[in-house]
């Protein structure tokens, strides 16, 4: 059975002190969430150690927003998957559209990063999603299919148990414009059928597929009611404990 997950991507926001307060606010309310829903937060690298301390003893998962392609060595500015695991991370986001767009993350780099994450016991939240022009030219299915096949199809089937997919249409990220429930469900069903064609129906059915893109308390209910939407990857609305918790209560 696939899991219901709500994950917060804090991006490059909050000071360490603010991040610790935000994490404390989420921990204080986690009991208000149904047991069947997993919460994950992804603070910036600098916040991970103190936030891990706040999360100790809580059921909330800790994620990084990225990891290095290499295990260690002369790679100035990088943070390895082993370092992340060592300080208590259980997950890393990979392939976020902002990293694809601004930092040249391509299939080759993402394949290496996923291998590093798995070697070090991290699960991966793998992001896919089309740009507005792709959708306008009716190429959104092709783009998402390629983002999946170029990277995830290189994995042995059993590794898919450690992958969560986040469908995030780039035109909906941080714009206030959300995909309609119909658009999101259509793409989520397509993602599941793409997985099914390669890995088989069982793996496709067991893979959690999150929606991301201006998801907030006011629209989460409608989105999460869709049969192939298993939760959300939340940016802006994850920076307020009340909103993040309200989204996780949307089922
Ligand atoms: C994101 O970038 O992962 C995201 C979903 O952002 P927002 O919720 O702010 O659109």
pLDDT at 15: 98
Our mutation pick for probing the ligand 1 site, out of 179, 229, 233, counting the most ligand atoms within 8 A of Cβ, is 233
Beta bridge partners of 4: 37
pTM for the full model?
Answer: 0.97
pLDDT at 176: 83
The pLDDT tens digits for 191-236 are 999 999 999 999 999 999 999 999 999 999 999 999 999 999 999 9
Q: What is the CA radius of gyration of the chain?
A: 17
Q: E strands, the chain, where?
A: 4-9, 37-42, 61-64, 91-94, 123-128, 163-167, 209-212, 231-234
Q: How many C-beta neighbours within 10 Å does residue 216 have?
A: 21
Å from CA of 236 to ligand 1 middle: 6
Q: Of 8-22, 26-40, 172-186, 207-221, where does mean pLDDT reach its minimum?
A: 172-186
Give the residue extent of every domain in the chain: 4-248
Distance from C-alpha of 44 to C-alpha of 46, rounded to nearest angstrom: 6
Pairing of strands 231-234, 91-94: unpaired
Taking the CA atoms of 120, 160, 54 and 20 in sequence, report the sign of the dihedral they define: positive
Q: Does residue 96 carry a catalytic annotation?
A: yes
Provide the pLDDT confidence category of residue 175 given band limits of 50, 70 and 90.
Answer: confident
> SS3 of 71, please?
coil
- The residue whose CA has the least distance to atom 6 of ligand 1 is 235
CATH entry, 4-248, from 3.30.465.10, 3.20.20.70, 3.10.20.70, 2.60.120.260 = 3.20.20.70
Q: Is the pLDDT of residue 107 over 90?
A: yes
- Of 31, 186, 16, 19, whose CA–CA distance to 8 is shortest? 19
Å from CA of 158 to ligand 1 middle: 29
């Amino acid at each position: 059975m696939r899991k219901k997950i709500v994950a917060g991507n804090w991006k490059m926001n909050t000071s360490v002190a603010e991040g610790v307060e935000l994490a404390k606010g989420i921990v204080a309310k986690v009991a208000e969430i149904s047991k069947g829903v997993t919460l994950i937060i992804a603070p910036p690298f600098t916040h991970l150690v103190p936030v891990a301390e706040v999360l100790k003893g809580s059921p909330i998962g800790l994620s990084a927003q990225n990891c290095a392609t290499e295990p260690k060595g002369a790679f100035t500015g990088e943070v390895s998957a082993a370092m992340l695991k060592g300080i208590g991370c259980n997950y890393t986001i990979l392939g976020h559209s902002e990293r694809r767009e601004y930092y040249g993350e391509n299939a080759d780099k993402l394949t290496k990063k996923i291998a590093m994450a798995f070697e070090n016991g991290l699960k991966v939240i793998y992001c896919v999603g089309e740009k507005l022009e792709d959708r306008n030219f009716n190429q959104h299915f092709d783009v998402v299919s390629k983002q999946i096949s170029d990277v995830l199809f290189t994995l042995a089937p059993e590794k898919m148990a450690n992958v969560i997919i986040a469908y995030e249409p780039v035109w909906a990220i941080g714009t206030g414009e959300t995909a309609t429930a119909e658009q999101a469900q259509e793409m989520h069903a397509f993602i599941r059928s793409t997985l099914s064609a390669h890995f088989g129906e069982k793996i496709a059915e067991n893979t959690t597929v999150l929606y991301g893109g201006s998801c907030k308390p006011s629209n989460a209910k409608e989105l999460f009611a869709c049969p192939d939407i298993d939760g959300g990857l939340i940016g802006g609305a994850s920076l307020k404990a009340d909103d993040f918790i309200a989204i996780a209560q949307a089922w």
